[in-house]
Amino acid sequence: MKAIKAAMAARKGMALGYIAAFTVVLITSAYPAVTRLGVATSLTPADLLLFRLGVSGLLFVPYLVRHGREIRKSDWLSALPLSFLHGWGMAGCVIFGLQYAPASHAAALGPGAIAAWIALVGFLAYRIEVDSKRLAGIAIIIAGVALILVASYRGQSLAQAIVGDTMFLAASALGATYLVYIQRRRLDPILAAALVCVTSAMVVGPWHYFFAQSAIASAPLTDLAWQAVFQGVVFGCGVFFAINYAVLAVGLRSPARAAKVLLPVVLAAIAAAAILVAFLEPLTVFHYVALLLTIGIGVNYALLMASPVARDDPAAMWRTLAVVSGTALVTFGVLAFAHAPVLHAIGVTVTVGVIASLVFAAMLVRPVAEGVA
């Protein structure tokens, strides 16, 4: 009976982990565009950084006050470096980078490159080897990153896009290092989020007050309220907690396994973009936004194929994939024939992306046993 209850609790935790991962993907896909809008209109990058980390830090203070005595000294000591990796350091690179480069570059060089960074950090820090197939996929990611950097350097994007691209890559490297660390240390997701957010608020608050350029006093109240809620509450608290929870609950407990799930997602997005450019139509901002949605769909496919369910009942897994992917193909396939440019771009991109996500996930992802690190 105890074994049955334990198994049910494990499956429930994994299901919640999938929900958390899906939530992260949905909100993160909108983050570069919303932040770029704030930077380009009424607020400064420093203001957005304050909203992102100051608001979330205030919300997590009660948790640290209540549980302060239970937190180990080693965890307290790790707060500052962790806040740099996934707080004020990483967020600062993204937000300030959006002054120079478009939101599409932030998505491609941030989440798009993180699988390669995770593999690199895992190898350098823990000597975790990656097999030849994954190395080939990582090489493709590096080639895609190189193409973006070369285009930015030659002035084919915004005038100073290379500066923003460099900052996005730095943010991706910092985030990957953080994920590897919490995977190895198995930090409690709420504790990790609280330490990072509160420590980041303590760093960013004084810096913003004494040194940063601010436009808060002259910005419309609606802009302030919207960015405070999105940056601080939704992204700073909600998404950050969901990231930590998903990494632990879904079972991606090693950098190699995380890279194995992320790699086919990134390759599918690159392949979808390449197919569109080579055979169908040039990419617009609507295609880039749709590629973010494609990444979200691909994450769900890869996580399902990597779960113990795929090993225990592969027929049920494939039936589930057939239903969800078939629904997506029909829905977005119809949009692909729309005359409105926005609907057409979303439809054709997601249709190609769904097919690519299924192909790459089936080729590269293998189910793992529960409890295997």
* pLDDT tens digits for range 287-334: 776 776 777 677 777 777 776 666 677 777 787 778 777 877 887 888
Q: What 3-state DSSP class applies to 46?
A: helix
Residues 6+ apart with CB under 8 A from 237: 55, 56, 59, 60, 193, 197
Phi, psi of 208 (to 5 degrees): -65, -40
Residues 6+ apart with CB under 8 A from 24: 239, 242, 243, 246
Q: What 3-state DSSP class applies to 283?
A: coil
Residue 343 CA to residue 253 CA, distance in Å, equals 39
The mean pLDDT of 323-347, rounded to a whole number, is: 79
Evaluate if pTM is beyond 0.85: no
CA 155 → CA 93, 112, 168, 345, distances in Å? 21, 22, 17, 25
Residues 29/30/35/37 CA torsion (nearest 10 deg): 130
For residues 288 and 262, is the Cβ–Cβ distance under 8 A?
no
Give 127-166 pLDDT, tens digit per residue. 777 777 677 778 888 888 888 898 888 888 788 889 999 9
Residue 112 CA to residue 291 CA, distance in Å, equals 11
